Amino acid sequence: MERFFLYDDIEDTKTRFVSFTGSKLRYDLAIMQSTRFFGKVLVLDMQFGRFAIIGPDDLEEPGYLEHVFNKTEEEAEDLREYLTELLG
């Protein structure tokens, strides 16, 4: 069987590791910047193994962070506030 690649690229990325406590939870994140994401960042929740490509527009989408990170609205608010500061 022949493998058909859509792409196979290697790129240097900038990764920031952040750990903070919110009002309900502790967050341990890896935030990766790359030209691949068109100005957005890849946010990895290292505690729960979830990730999403996020930009400022995604933070304004109701329920988006709650859905991708499987959080309640109250739990996601601390994350939303941090990412808004980071991406702003």
The pLDDT, as a whole number, for residue 1 is 86
pLDDT reading at 28 higher than 90:
yes
High-pLDDT (> 90) share of the chain, %: 92
Measured torsion, CA atoms of residues 85, 70, 63, 22, in degrees rounded to the nearest 10: -40
Looking at residues 28-57, what average pLDDT do you find? 96
- Length reported for the chain: 88
Q: Report domain extents, the chain.
A: 14-87
pLDDT reading at 52 higher than 90:
yes
The pLDDT, as a whole number, for residue 88 is 85
CA 51 to chain centre: 5
Per the confidence metrics, is the pTM higher than 0.85?
Answer: yes
Q: CB under 8 Å to 57, separation ≥6 — which residues? A: none
Tell whether the torsion through CA atoms of 29, 34, 66 and 44 is positive or negative: negative
